[in-house]
Amino acid sequence: MTAETVKPAPETNGAPQDFVPPYPHRFETLPPVWKLIGLAKKNFLAIWTESDFQSRLRSKKVINRELFVVNRPDVVREAFQTRHKELQRKSPQMRHSLEPLLGDGLFVSDSDTWTKRRKVVAPIIHGSRVPGFAPIMIETIEEKRADWAGLPDGSEVNVLAEMGHLTAEIICRTIFGRTLGKDYASEVVQGFADYQKHIDQVEIISLFGLPDWLPRYRRRSVRSSIKRILTVLDEIIDSYAQQKESGEDSVIGGLLEARDEDGKPLSRAAIRNEAAVIFMAGHETTANTLAWAWYLLSQSDRVRAKLQKELDTVLQGRTPAFSDVPNLPYTKAVIEETLRLYPPVPILAREAMVDTSISGKPVPRGSLVLVVPWLMHRSPKLWHAPDAFRPERFINPKAKKPNKYGYVPFSIGPRICAGLQFGMTESILSLAMLAQSFDLTLKDGTDVQPVARLTLRPGDELPMNVHARHP
Ligand code: HEM
């Protein structure tokens, strides 16, 4: 075993069998391309063979595009860190889906535009700013807690939608400030939901080689949802002057006041694009993480009891503050393990901008290079009992820490998620505050299956019953 292929030690000390959550069937051998395309359209997770999980670096020519799957820490490091310059461009599928709305925003841009924007935008949502955003998070989670407290015991809720609502409110109030965020949240959320519904069909054809210059068929409904979102964003930016007087902190404020290296402010379009990026990147990812965490907890009495014990002991029934987050290591481990098993962005795809190589293998310009957290996070070469739900693997001081290039729910290298600390803090606080007060059980007869289109979700809904806790 090399240093790159460390399996964190098992650490359940004789605890009963860990819960193994669902995953799609794994093929023994690769099905024909036509079948793969059909499967990928419905669910990206369903196309992998057993040996893909174990592989280090695989390549395959699909129609007229060379495809590389990079699946071990040393090669991930080479592709995303060392060869960042050559491999920084997002896949055509991602760009075609998101460019109509995000324009040249951080998530989809590359080269000079990306370098300049990253320098301006990343500090606005950086970890050092998170303590300032935490009170908004806590206030919004408290509202959700009050909503649930008002429900009769055992009421059914769609946890996926509930977490979507919570994280959308948090991100809206952080981007636009408390007042404007509250006023505009439902409009922004609706606009994005509409847009996503239209683009959710993966542009699978691009993935398999449709040339970039070919015009994409764009329905009128997509164009009108874009127009609606941009109009709202413009209104919010115009109202900012009023909000500024109230001395409130917000991402929009940061973007308006930001200056690039030449001392120039961002253009109106750039501000709009970056606000849209932060909403889009920060909303559904965190919502999916929380929904999966609730599902996993509902299926593991052992983990749920341990989490509740930590919350009751550390918080003693009070609402946590930002300063409590470091004292909730098991809660954090539950989130980390959730992100390992169900990474919200299960495929990180890049297009080679020039001829390059990975591990000595030539990678021609235009090839697609994929890092697939779904595969690497479940590789038996890297993890002990890879399909089991075992938060202890992130917390046991005796276990080797997962390799930072082998555990990549937030990506890695220069394009690593700019909201990593924000997303982790938001997830830990949301889970802590809601699990303090409620137990969630899965609705009887619900079959939960992971489905990945743009993000990885537990299907279209997650019906669960909410029970008040009386610790
Ligand atoms: C659990 C929550 C989150 C997860 C799992 C997550 C994951 C990711 C991943 C995997 C990427 C890179 C995608 C790629 O390489 O194709 C990314 C990028 C990004 N994320 Fe997050 N994210 C989360 C929360 C957030 C939040 C809360 C924000 C904002 C406050 C945010 C802002 C961004 C931005 C701006 C980028 C683009 C970075 C760039 O290209 O330079 N994310 N995120």
The one-letter amino acid at 222 = V
Distance in Å, CA 283 to ligand 1 centroid: 10
Q: What are phi and psi of 362, to 5 degrees?
A: -65, 135
Mean pLDDT of 21-50: 85
196: pLDDT confidence band, cut at 50, 70 and 90?
confident
pLDDT above 50 (res 5):
no
Instruction: Give percent of the chain above pLDDT 70.
Output: 90
Q: CB neighbours of 125 closer than 8 A, spacing ≥ 6?
A: 251, 278, 282, 418, 419, 422
Mean pLDDT of 251-269: 88
Structure tokens at 187: 């409009």
At 188 the three-state DSSP class reads helix
Compare 99 and 330 and report the one with higher pLDDT. 330
Q: Ligand 1 pocket check: which of 284, 417, 456 to mutate, most ligand atoms within 8 Å of Cβ?
A: 417
At 445 the three-state DSSP class reads coil
Q: Which of 129-138, 175-184, 200-209, 299-308 comes out lowest in average pLDDT?
A: 200-209
Distance in Å, CA 375 to ligand 1 centroid: 19
Ligand 1 atom nearest to CA at 423:
27
Q: What are phi and psi of 440, to 5 degrees?
A: -115, 130
Mean pLDDT of 99-121: 93
Distance in Å, CA 418 to ligand 1 centroid: 6
pLDDT of residue 218: 60
Distance in Å, CA 277 to ligand 1 centroid: 9
Compare 420 and 196 and report the one with higher pLDDT. 420
Mean pLDDT of 287-315: 98
Mean pLDDT of 257-284: 90
Ligand 1 atom nearest to CA at 114:
41
Instruction: Give percent of the chain above pLDDT 90.
Output: 65
The DSSP letter of residue 151 is S
> What's the mean pLDDT when you consider all of the chain?
88
* Sequence ranges of the domains in the chain: 3-468
pLDDT above 70 (res 30):
yes
Ligand 1 atom nearest to CA at 251:
30
1: pLDDT confidence band, cut at 50, 70 and 90?
very low
pLDDT of residue 67: 92
Mean pLDDT of 369-374: 96
Contact 204, 37 (CB under 8 A): yes
Q: Where does ligand 1 bind, in terms of residues with CB under 6 Å? A: 106-107, 118, 125, 277-278, 281-282, 285-286, 289, 344-345, 348, 409-411, 415, 417-419, 422-423, 427
CA end-to-end span of the chain, whole Å? Answer: 45
Of the candidates 210, 56, 409, 60, the one whose C-alpha atom is nearest the C-alpha of residue 47 is: 60
Ligand 1 atom nearest to CA at 289:
1
Compare 248 and 187 and report the one with higher pLDDT. 187
Distance in Å, CA 281 to ligand 1 centroid: 5
pLDDT above 50 (res 159):
yes
Compare 32 and 367 and report the one with higher pLDDT. 367
Mean pLDDT of 334-351: 96
16: pLDDT confidence band, cut at 50, 70 and 90?
low
Ligand 1 atom nearest to CA at 94:
16
70: pLDDT confidence band, cut at 50, 70 and 90?
very high
Of the candidates 392, 427, 390, 431, the one whose C-alpha atom is nearest the C-alpha of residue 308 is: 431
427: pLDDT confidence band, cut at 50, 70 and 90?
very high
At 264 the three-state DSSP class reads coil
pLDDT above 70 (res 211):
no
Q: Rounded to whole angstroms, what are the CA distances from 136 to 131, 175, 407?
A: 10, 11, 29
The one-letter amino acid at 234 = D
Mean pLDDT of 104-108: 93
pLDDT of residue 245: 57
Of the candidates 4, 3, 11, the one whose C-alpha atom is nearest the C-alpha of residue 385 is: 11
Compare 8 and 300 and report the one with higher pLDDT. 300
Tens digit of pLDDT for each residue in 406-415?
999 999 999 9
- For ligand 1, atom 34, the nearest C-alpha belongs to 418
Across 64-73, 149-158, 248-257, the highest mean pLDDT is recorded for 149-158
The CATH fold of domain 3-468: Cytochrome p450 (1.10.630)
Ligand 1 atom nearest to CA at 118:
41
pLDDT of residue 2: 34
7: pLDDT confidence band, cut at 50, 70 and 90?
very low
Mean pLDDT of 52-63: 90
Distance in Å, CA 452 to ligand 1 centroid: 17
- For ligand 1, atom 7, the nearest C-alpha belongs to 410
Per the listing, tokens 């009421």 go with 155
The rounded distance, in Å, linking the Cα atoms of 85 and 279 is 26
Q: Ligand 1 pocket check: which of 108, 285, 415 to mutate, most ligand atoms within 8 Å of Cβ?
A: 285
pTM over 0.85: yes
Q: Which of 137-146, 304-313, 347-356, 452-461 comes out lowest in average pLDDT?
A: 452-461
Beta 65-70 vs 368-371: how paired, if at all? parallel
- For ligand 1, atom 9, the nearest C-alpha belongs to 410
- For ligand 1, atom 36, the nearest C-alpha belongs to 417
Distance in Å, CA 410 to ligand 1 centroid: 6
pLDDT of residue 8: 39
- For ligand 1, atom 31, the nearest C-alpha belongs to 419
pLDDT of residue 239: 81
Compare 254 and 93 and report the one with higher pLDDT. 254
Contact 335, 343 (CB under 8 A): no
Distance in Å, CA 419 to ligand 1 centroid: 6
pLDDT of residue 246: 64
Cα three-residue angle 422-111-356, rounded to 5 degrees: 110
- For ligand 1, atom 21, the nearest C-alpha belongs to 417
pLDDT of residue 68: 96
